[in-house]
Amino acid sequence: MSDTSTTSVTPGSVNVSLSDVTKSFDGVVAVDQLNLTINDGEFFSLLGPSGCGKTTTLRMIGGFEEPTSGRIVLGGRDVTYTAPYHRDVNTVFQSYALFPHLDVYENVAFGLRRKKVAKDEVKKRVGAMLEIVDLPGYEKRRVNQLSGGQQQRIALARALVNEPALLLLDEPMSALDAKLRHQMQIELKSIQSRVGITFLYVTHDQEEAMTMSDRLVVMRQGKIEGIGSPQDVYDNPSTEFVATFLGASNLLAGTIASRGQEITAVALENGTTLQVPTARVATSTVGSVVKVGVRPEKIRIHVSGSTTTTGNTLRGRVRVSTFTGVGNQYIVEMASGEDITVYAQNIGEELAPRSGEEVELSWPIEHTFAVRPAENVISSDELAS
């Protein structure tokens, strides 16, 4: 299971370290005793709904907000109360904050000129950076002559040309349309790999975080609910919120009936027992209430009696069947009244079940997990962020 503890790293490889960092505004806690390490050269994302504390965390790392308590270390140096311009950090904001009265060259060169870098060196570094962001030859263009994606890349070049140890990115793709945003996700990850600088990326978009990150955290109400690689956090969610926020999950209420070294049995409220790998169970105490989960794409669906099923199985009736082109999406109603969502790939293997048909659902035991129920209600606004 992914957990909320600080990830162990090789000594000397840590770029950012937060220890018990808390931030309150007028008595309201926005970030609550956050402990986090980000490794040197890592693409790391803070993911969560609006108001979860991710942007406040980024602003404290950048020096734009002071923590109420706790400690922030960058590159081995305590910068908890150090001014932003004394930190080896640059930021790309949502608005890009380009200078409209300057051309592309002068926008990118701005920070170097402030540092009084030699003219020849400025020319060399600006040219190299425009090559990296794939905009050579744009030096004399004005900002208003650039598309949204081009403006974003110029903002990125301006931040990177100073060679910071850490680049902060605060939802820089929020103003782009969906097609361009997807394209920029791939480009941004490619640029980060080429320059080797640590990126700390803030987003509420799950696809962005999953596509680009080496590791990510899922935040809720100022706390970390899950941390790890995108695949680990997706496949092994630590809480009900992580399971529902990061992709779609089927979650069924149950109680741990027995626990073995390899397999834990969970009894559902309708009397069915599901098997869960013990390593993927959030708590090992017999009698504990959990939510048993399986991702919709892991489930196979068959008309009842049409095939032999193995692993975990459930029976139900197709309530909704929707063809999506690449596959079918089903809503299957259990006898208990609960719904299970199934995504089936369109590979022409067998006839798709129709609405109203009795079906059997099956999936391998290793794709099952059991998480702690949320301590408070997960609102629709959180999941829609």
Q: Based on the fold, state whether residues 151 and 126 are members of the same structural domain.
A: yes
Q: Could you give the maximum distance between any two Cα atoms of the chain, in Å?
A: 78
Give the Cα separation of 240 and 227 in Å (integer): 14
Find the domain containing 252 and state its range.
240-384
Q: Based on the fold, state whether residues 48 and 180 are members of the same structural domain.
A: yes
Burial annotation 89-117 (CB, 10 A radius, 16+ → b, else e): bbbbeeebebeeeebbbebbbbbbeeeeb
Q: Based on the fold, state whether residues 246 and 208 are members of the same structural domain.
A: no
Predicted confidence (pLDDT) at residue 326 exceeds the cutoff of 90: no
Q: What CATH number corresponds to the domain at position 366?
A: 2.40.50.140
166 exposure class (CB count in 10 Å sphere: 0-12, 13-18, 19+):
buried
For residue range 61-71, list pLDDT tens digits in order.
999 999 999 99
Give the Cα separation of 79 and 354 in Å (integer): 61
Q: Based on the fold, state whether residues 227 and 366 are members of the same structural domain.
A: no
β partners of residue 313: 362
Q: Based on the fold, state whether residues 63 and 118 are members of the same structural domain.
A: yes
Predicted confidence (pLDDT) at residue 335 exceeds the cutoff of 90: no
Q: Which of 36-40, 181-185, 212-216, 316-320 has the lowest mean pLDDT?
A: 181-185
Q: Based on the fold, state whether residues 91 and 182 are members of the same structural domain.
A: yes
For residue range 203-243, list pLDDT tens digits in order.
999 999 999 999 999 999 999 999 999 999 999 999 999 99
Mean residue pLDDT of the chain comes to 90
Q: Into how many domains does the chain fold?
A: 2
Q: What is the mean pLDDT of residues 308-333?
A: 90
Q: Based on the fold, state whether residues 205 and 223 are members of the same structural domain.
A: yes
The last residue of one of the domains, among 211, 235, 259, is 235
- 340 falls within a domain: yes
Give the Cα separation of 255 and 251 in Å (integer): 13
- 85 falls within a domain: yes
Contacts of 273 (CB under 8 A, 6+ apart): 257, 265, 266, 267
Q: Based on the fold, state whether residues 83 and 112 are members of the same structural domain.
A: yes
Q: Give the pLDDT confidence score for residue 13 in this predicted structure.
A: 77
∠ at Cα 192 (171, 177), nearest 5°?
A: 40
Contacts of 330 (CB under 8 A, 6+ apart): 301, 318, 320, 321, 322, 341, 342, 344, 353, 359
- 189 falls within a domain: yes
Q: What CATH number corresponds to the domain at position 113?
A: 3.40.50.300
Q: What is the mean pLDDT of residues 124-151?
A: 91
Predicted confidence (pLDDT) at residue 379 exceeds the cutoff of 90: no
The last residue of one of the domains, among 235, 259, 292, is 235
- 129 falls within a domain: yes
∠ at Cα 312 (308, 314), nearest 5°?
A: 80
- 1 falls within a domain: no
Q: Based on the fold, state whether residues 249 and 269 are members of the same structural domain.
A: yes
Contact at 8 Å (CB) between 52 and 219? yes
The last residue of one of the domains, among 235, 260, 292, is 235
Quick one: tokens of 126?
Answer: 């600006």
Contact at 8 Å (CB) between 294 and 305? no
Contact at 8 Å (CB) between 322 and 328? yes
- 312 falls within a domain: yes
Q: Based on the fold, state whether residues 183 and 287 are members of the same structural domain.
A: no
For residue range 5-57, list pLDDT tens digits in order.
333 334 447 899 999 999 999 999 999 999 999 999 999 999 999 999 999 99
- 40 falls within a domain: yes
Q: Based on the fold, state whether residues 108 and 152 are members of the same structural domain.
A: yes
Name the one residue in this structure whose structure tokens are 């570094």.
125
- 276 falls within a domain: yes
Give the confidence band of 183 by pLDDT, cuts at 50, 70, 90: confident
Give the Cα separation of 122 and 105 in Å (integer): 10
For residue range 241-255, list pLDDT tens digits in order.
999 999 889 999 999
β partners of residue 338: none
Q: Based on the fold, state whether residues 270 and 373 are members of the same structural domain.
A: yes
Give the Cα separation of 181 and 147 in Å (integer): 13
∠ at Cα 277 (274, 278), nearest 5°?
A: 110
